[in-house]
């Protein structure tokens, strides 16, 4: 992973994590509402980027599955990151791509989105934790 990919991962994890856990963050820190509202205006675009980046990460992780025997912690973190990107990206990007779907695809996608929304807050926390974990892996462990 190059430096820019590393920082893109961390930034995207932080952004999706803040959006995912925004309701809890605002309850605990009401003055964060203005900043989160500004970020929420772009949640659709952030979601699309997150989902696409997650698919790219998932393909990469699966291509390099042999790393699981060499560095299992990094590979599992990579896979978890990809799945969080895809999940939160789908939740936030759905609204922007739904208009381009057929009625049948839209109905199935909406069912999946409803299931994922139930996990939005925990996924937000996992996303924030993964951002911190990547930094620890990058600068402390390796």
pTM of the shown model:
0.92
Whose tokens are 């980027």? That residue is 49
Question: Can you give the residue range of the structural domain that contains 128?
Answer: 3-141
Distance CA 42, CA 58 (A): 24
39-67 confidence digits (pLDDT tens): 999 999 999 999 999 999 999 999 999 98
Q: What is the pLDDT of residues 87-108, one digit of tens each?
A: 999 999 998 998 888 999 999 9
Domain count, the chain: 1
Residue 85 contacts residue 50 (beta carbons within 8 Å): yes
Cβ neighbours for 52, distance < 8 A, ≥ 6 positions apart: 89
In 10 A of CB 4, how many CB atoms?
8
pLDDT band, very low/low/confident/very high, at 142 (cuts 50, 70, 90):
low
CB 129 within 8 A of CB 90: no
């Amino acid at each position: 992973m190059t430096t820019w990919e590393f920082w893109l991962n961390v930034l995207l994890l932080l952004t999706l994590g803040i959006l995912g856990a925004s309701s809890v963050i605002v309850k605990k820190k009401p003055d964060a509402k203005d900043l989160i509202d500004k970020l929420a205006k772009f949640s659709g675009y952030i979601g699309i980027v997150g989902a696409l980046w997650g698919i790219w990460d998932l393909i990469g992780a699966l291509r390099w599955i042999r790393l699981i025997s060499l560095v299992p912690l990094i590979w599992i973190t990579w896979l978890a990151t990809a799945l969080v990107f895809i999940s939160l990206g789908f939740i936030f990007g759905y609204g922007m791509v739904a208009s381009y779907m057929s009625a049948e695809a839209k109905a199935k996608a909406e069912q999946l989105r409803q299931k994922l929304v139930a996990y939005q807050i925990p996924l937000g926390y996992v996303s924030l934790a993964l951002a911190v974990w990547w930094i620890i892996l990058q600068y402390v462990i390796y």
